[in-house]
Amino acid sequence: MSEGKLVIFSAPSGAGKTTIVSHLLTLGLNFGFSISATTRKPRGTEQNGKEYYFLSVEEFKNKIDQGEFLEWEEVYPGCFYGTLKSEVERISKNGQNILFDIDVVGGSNIKKYYGDKALAVFVQAPSIEELKNRLIIRSTDHLEVIQQRIAKAEHEMSFVNLFDIVIVNDKLEDALLEAEQKVIQFLEKNSD
């Protein structure tokens, strides 16, 4: 389906992958960001069609029934997230590489589907304790949501073996540099 290369970033929430993904988008590596659909409410300054396509549960379920998703997950109870096939097509048609910021299940599924065309990167926080601190400092979510995310993070760690590489986000500058190097290496290798 895709003509370009795919780079997938997955991680437990709060590991810092969104910061890394945003950084990679500024480097002129010809990436299009795969804008996912979600049923969660926008946070902060998030806009429809920029960070996500914000849908109602009904709209999301209609798209599932119509076979419009490449993959989708109920990432949190009642909260759906998915990659639209139309999104992958849109970016491919632009002649761009595709950058995904998705959960570990979706990420490992896309990796399985695309094989060597995809680089799957697992971003890990140094510890669960640190993850907890980061989610609390960000504090854009209610405490109940934060607790849900921490419990889930522990389970998500077990998917790490399905990924090509692991980046431990201890110091952000180091993680950004490592991500940059690994992604450039992958893009160059595959374009031979």
> Contact positions toward ligand 5GP, by CB under 6 A?
13, 36, 40, 71, 73, 75, 81-83, 101-103, 105-106
CB of 81 to ligand 5GP, least distance (A): 4
Residue with Cβ nearer ligand 5GP (13 or 124): 13
**Edge-to-edge strand order for the sheet containing 118-124?**
31-33, 97-101, 6-10, 118-124, 165-168
Nearest CA-CA partner of 29 in 148, 182, 192: 182
CB of 128 to ligand 5GP, least distance (A): 16
The answer to whether 14 and 157 are in contact (CB under 8 A) is no
CB of 23 to ligand 5GP, least distance (A): 16
**What does the angle CA 155 – CA 156 – CA 161 come to, to the nearest 5 degrees?**
115
How many other C-beta atoms lie within 10 A of the C-beta of residue 176? 18
CB of 146 to ligand 5GP, least distance (A): 11
Residue with Cβ nearer ligand 5GP (18 or 189): 18
Residue with Cβ nearer ligand 5GP (4 or 14): 14
Nearest CA-CA partner of 58 in 36, 80, 42, 73: 80
CB of 187 to ligand 5GP, least distance (A): 21
CB of 38 to ligand 5GP, least distance (A): 6
Helices (H), the chain: 17-25, 57-65, 85-93, 104-114, 128-138, 143-156, 172-190
Residue with Cβ nearer ligand 5GP (56 or 191): 56
Nearest CA-CA partner of 119 in 60, 37, 54, 178: 178
Residue with Cβ nearer ligand 5GP (83 or 96): 83
The SS3 call for residue 34 is coil
Phi, psi of 36 (to 5 degrees): -80, 160
Residue with Cβ nearer ligand 5GP (105 or 146): 105
Which residue has the closest beta carbon to ligand 5GP? 106
